[in-house]
């Protein structure tokens, strides 16, 4: 029998559930569900993020965060104009235009809700010939949080994320996730990708802000080829490599606890 390493991504399960579509399916993380409950439709991740789930937040996402990251936050920021296009956040959302992009207004909403725009550019670049993705929400249960803790990784509700699963010929061929890290109050973002067996095929910083040291390719070379299940971070000789190691370990753990039984 062929192994099916992805607990939620075994091929027969995907087909039976109708998840393998010609265009990307949409995940429903908790904050997106709050938006849907408030405005009656599921937003694109780009409402709050600059380039898809896991990437840095845009100004609307920051306002939502500052207002409490809850259902009541929408009312608190409704009169603001996050994207500076002259239309208030609440009016944009009601009109199904993006409150996070000045290129989307009630008169010209654009294609921000199209499923083809849900995959971050950095993820698409890793799988250039893939046109189909499954988006898996990474909202962690108490059991998954406990599994992560057993690996020395702390996960919490605010760590919710999106796992991108490229699909070729109706078969998942890997995964990708973008996870933020911290070093002395500075944030950076790590892109981690794997093959179907959850072996790491790519690791890099895609948005390091002013933390230039986190961009060094050599910091990520030691992760390539390792399994997310048995990952051993390379030695860290100072604080920045240690922060990179923690972030990669966290990303790998997110993939493991969500996609593989344990």
Q: For residues 32 and 248, give the distance between their C-alpha atoms in angstroms, rounded to a whole number.
A: 25
Using pLDDT thresholds of 50, 70 and 90, give the confidence band for residue 258.
very high
Name the residue among 141, 111, 123, 127 with its Cα closest to residue 30. 141
CA distance 213 to 245: 13
> What is the band of 230 on the pLDDT scale with cuts at 50, 70, 90?
very high
Short-list 10, 2, 63, 258, CA closest to 148:
258
pLDDT at 12 > cutoff 80: no
Question: pLDDT category, 92, cuts 50, 70, 90?
Answer: very high
- DSSP per residue, 37-77: HHHSSPPPGGGTBSSSTTSPB-HHHHHHHHTTSSTTHHHHH
Three-state secondary structure readout of 140-201: CCHHHHHHHHHCCCCCCHHHCEEEEEEEECCEECEEEEEEEEEECCEEEEEEEEEECCCEEE
Q: Burial of 133 by CB count in 10 Å (0-12 exposed, 13-18 middle, 19+ buried)?
A: buried
* pLDDT above 70 coverage of the chain, percent: 87
- Residue 29 C-beta-side C-alpha neighbours within 13 Å: 26
Q: How high is the pLDDT of residue 31?
A: 76
The Cα 104–Cα 89 span in angstroms is 11
- Say how far apart CA 242 and CA 17 lie, in whole Å: 40
Decide: helix, strand or coil at residue 126: helix
Residue 223: its pLDDT value, please? 95
pLDDT tens column, 60-83: 989 998 998 888 999 999 999 999
pLDDT for position 116: 66
What is the model's pTM? 0.74
pLDDT digits (tens, 9 = 90+) for 93-109: 999 999 999 999 999 99
Distance of alpha carbon 164 from alpha carbon 184, whole angstroms: 29
Which tens digits make up the pLDDT trace of 161-211? Answer: 889 999 998 899 999 999 989 888 888 889 999 999 999 999 999 877 777
């Amino acid at each position: 029998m062929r192994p099916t390493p992805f607990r939620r991504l075994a091929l027969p399960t995907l087909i039976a559930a109708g998840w393998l579509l010609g265009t990307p399916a949409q995940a429903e993380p908790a904050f997106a569900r709050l938006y849907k409950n408030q405005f009656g439709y599921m937003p694109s991740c780009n409402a709050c993020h600059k380039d898809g789930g896991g990437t840095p937040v845009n100004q609307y996402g920051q306002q939502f965060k500052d207002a409490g990251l809850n259902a009541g936050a929408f009312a608190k920021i409704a009169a603001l104009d996050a994207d500076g296009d002259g239309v208030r956040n609440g009016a944009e959302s009601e009109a199904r235009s993006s409150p996070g992009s000045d290129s989307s207004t009630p008169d010209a909403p654009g294609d921000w809700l199209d499923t083809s725009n849900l995959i971050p550019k950095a993820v698409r670049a890793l799988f250039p010939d893939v046109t189909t993705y499954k988006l898996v929400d990474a909202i962690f249960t108490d059991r998954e949080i406990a599994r992560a803790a057993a690996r020395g990784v702390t996960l919490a509700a605010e760590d919710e994320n999106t796992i991108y699963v490229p699909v070729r010929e109706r078969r998942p061929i890997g995964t990708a996730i973008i996870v933020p890290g911290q070093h002395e109050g500075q944030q950076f973002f790590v892109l981690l990708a794997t093959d179907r067996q959850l072996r790491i095929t790519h690791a890099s910083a895609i948005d390091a802000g002013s933390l230039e040291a986190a961009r060094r390719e050599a910091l990520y070379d030691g992760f390539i080829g390792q399994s997310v299940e048995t990952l051993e971070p390379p030695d860290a000789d100072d604080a920045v490599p240690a922060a990179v190691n923690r972030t990669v370990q966290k990303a790998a753990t997110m993939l493991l606890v969500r996609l593989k039984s344990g």
